[in-house]
Amino acid sequence: MPIHNADIQLLFQELADLLEIEGANPFRSRAYRNAARTIGGLSESIADMINKQEDLTRLQDIGKDLAEKMEEIVQTGSLQDLEEARKRVSPELASLLKIPGLGPKKVKALHEQLGIDSIADLGQAAQSGEISKLSGFGAKTQTSILEELERFTSRDKRFTLDTVESLVQSLESFLTSISGVKQVTVAGSYRRRKETVGDLDILVATDDPDSVMERFVNHEDAAEVLVQGSTKTSIKHRMGIQVDVRVVPEASYGAALHYFTGSKAHNIAVRKLALERNDKINEYGVYKGGKLLAGRTEEAVYAQLDLPVIPPELREDRGEIQAAQKGALPELIKETDLRGDLHCHTDWSDGRQTLEEMARAAQKMGYQYLAITDHTHNLKVVNGLGPERLAQQIEAIDEINKRMKPFTLLKGAEVDILEDGRLDLPDAILQRLDLCVCSVHTKFKLSRQQQTDRILKAMDNPYCTILGHPSGRLIGSREPYDLDMDQILNKAKAGNCCLEINSQPDRLDLKDTTCKAAKDLGITLVISSDSHRTSGLQAVRYGVGQARRGWLEADDVLNTRPLNELLKLLKRT
């Protein structure tokens, strides 16, 4: 297996954490942490450098000792020092680090002073009030630990789309390759492109169910077999997610696909519709008086109820059946409708690649344009740009644009919204940009009123083109900030500010129902990758899924416009 820089980075970070928990010499853990940071910022592959026998000690913060450790990882896939540290610090104790707000220092204190060894211990200590008495903790920390614990235990049950995508693809091709298998579809919430999935539901058409199930339970990634039968078999995948496989005959494939795609609410509404027509529908087909009328394809199943096929993303019983009956289903936006991307980062701030590399990657995707929106100077930790560096970047972009015609890099910035709602750059520089994505990155805990007013004020700024990741949520780790979204929507409508659908799979911000509310108000949305590397541009597929769940059509989305139209729309009067 090739070792990526990210693998080395993770092992170093883990070792630094473990050393700190056990109270080792702070210089050692700091050395690993600094090295991890250096590795995270490299564009060249360390494995390649080692193969080419390059001198790793020329890298910042990397001495002879750390260079040897990196070689060890690349050659053996593991790190002896880390293996030993893992034996000294129990994995249960180390797992406390997964709780947001608990760093190694706090974990060490909890362990030494309260004897806490596991997440279960932590919960008990927080509930009994012991933690608040510990110096350096207090009642506020204790409350936030309890909140995070609650989120942590409920989060473990659901998975973001990016984390399941690769295993879905490999299971799909594995099942397809079994002889006698005629069709394979991943149904359930995954097919509906829901932002998180609880488990995977795979449908297989075959005449030989038992041999399919036998192969499936022996898959190399099956950590545990939960149920094995000839119609339904469930395993626990080693990534932690449950995978259900259901085998159906081809004559029922469409009906089963409809049933297991769900959602449950949609199924119930469809069943009610069938009953009103004296039909009966289940996972085997649509029947009248015991006679099978349709079942082989989804088209046939819907047609039997006088409906067109409803796209899976809409199947949530939010009016899609009524719309289908009226012939008023939206023509949902597709990935190929996008002509460009309006939010990405380069190595000028916290991105990995250069302006030109990002431009070439966007061009290769068939885009006409890409807006460069690096962070601005209020975000010092990511090397945000002040007016001078932004002016330099504008010149650099002009140079690249001369070479890459007709492809166009647009000049932009992801401007920080300050606590009082001002933007962190002066108008003099903002007016030289084609667009600004304005985002909140600090002070998440303001009161609802303050947070709302702060964002409304930023949206009033004539240079605010797009409000970036409007709710601020991080799926599974951070709740949205307290915000009156209705007021934000109304401001966007009145002020012609666009709202972003951030495609990062742990953001998907705006969420589906808010996308729909925005569309209904006539607000223009933007589907952005917020990419920090060339490969990240592909993340728009998640944003498009989210937009489809929000009923959006190409016309609702700004970056489906060709460049000349876009430029006209961006012009400020």
Part in contact with Zn ion (CB under 5 A); list of ranges 238-246, 522-530, 533-541, 546-554? 522-530
Which residues ranging from 232 to 261 are in contact with Ca ion (CB under 5 A)?
Answer: 244
Part in contact with Ca ion (CB under 5 A); list of ranges 7-15, 48-56, 194-202, 263-271? 194-202
> 260 or 369: whose CB is closer to ligand DGT?
260
- Show the tokens assigned to 218: 């022996």
- Contact between 201 and Ca ion by CB under 5 A: the answer reads yes
- Show the tokens assigned to 555: 């016309």
> 197 or 446: whose CB is closer to ligand DGT?
197
> 202 or 501: whose CB is closer to ligand DGT?
202
Part in contact with Zn ion (CB under 5 A); list of ranges 32-40, 112-120, 134-142, 409-417? 409-417
Residue 263 interacting partner from ligand DGT, Ca ion, Zn ion, none (CB closer than 5 to 8 Å by kind) = ligand DGT
Binding site for ligand DGT (CB under 6 A): 188-189, 194, 197-199, 201, 259-260, 262-264, 267-268
Cα distance between residue 190 and residue 193, in whole Å: 5
| Parallel, antiparallel or unpaired: strands 285-288 and 280-282 | antiparallel
Cα distance between residue 424 and residue 51, in whole Å: 45
CB of 424 to Zn ion, least distance (A): 14
Residue 414 interacting partner from Ca ion, ligand DGT, Zn ion, none (CB closer than 5 to 8 Å by kind) = Zn ion
- Contact between 530 and Zn ion by CB under 5 A: the answer reads yes
CB of 203 to ligand DGT, least distance (A): 10
CB 501 within 8 A of CB 509: yes
> 204 or 488: whose CB is closer to ligand DGT?
204
Least Cα distance to 530 among 478, 470, 487 occurs for 470
Cα distance between residue 536 and residue 36, in whole Å: 21
Least Cα distance to 417 among 469, 451, 455 occurs for 455
> 22 or 172: whose CB is closer to ligand DGT?
172
Part in contact with Ca ion (CB under 5 A); list of ranges 87-95, 182-190, 356-364, 495-503? 182-190
Residue 262 interacting partner from ligand DGT, Zn ion, Ca ion, none (CB closer than 5 to 8 Å by kind) = ligand DGT
User: Tell me, what amino acid is at 21?
Assistant: I
CB of 308 to Zn ion, least distance (A): 38
Q: What does DSSP assign to residue 147?
A: H
Largest alpha-carbon pair distance within the chain? 80
Assign 410 to helix, strand or coil.
strand
> 74 or 187: whose CB is closer to ligand DGT?
187
> 197 or 397: whose CB is closer to ligand DGT?
197
CB 407 within 8 A of CB 359: yes
- Contact between 414 and Zn ion by CB under 5 A: the answer reads yes
CB of 191 to Ca ion, least distance (A): 9
Cα distance between residue 60 and residue 63, in whole Å: 8
> 191 or 507: whose CB is closer to Zn ion?
507
- Show the tokens assigned to 473: 């949520």
Cα distance between residue 22 and residue 16, in whole Å: 10
SS3 sequence, 320-337? HHHHHHCCCCCCECCHHH
Cα distance between residue 265 and residue 317, in whole Å: 6
CB of 268 to ligand DGT, least distance (A): 5
- Residue of closest CB approach to ligand DGT: 262
The site that binds Zn ion (CB under 5 A) totals a number of residues, namely 2
Residue 530 interacting partner from ligand DGT, Zn ion, Ca ion, none (CB closer than 5 to 8 Å by kind) = Zn ion
Residues 6 or more apart in contact with residue 283 via CB below 8 angstroms = 248, 252, 255, 256, 259, 260
Residue numbers of the site for Zn ion (CB under 5 A)?
Answer: 414, 530
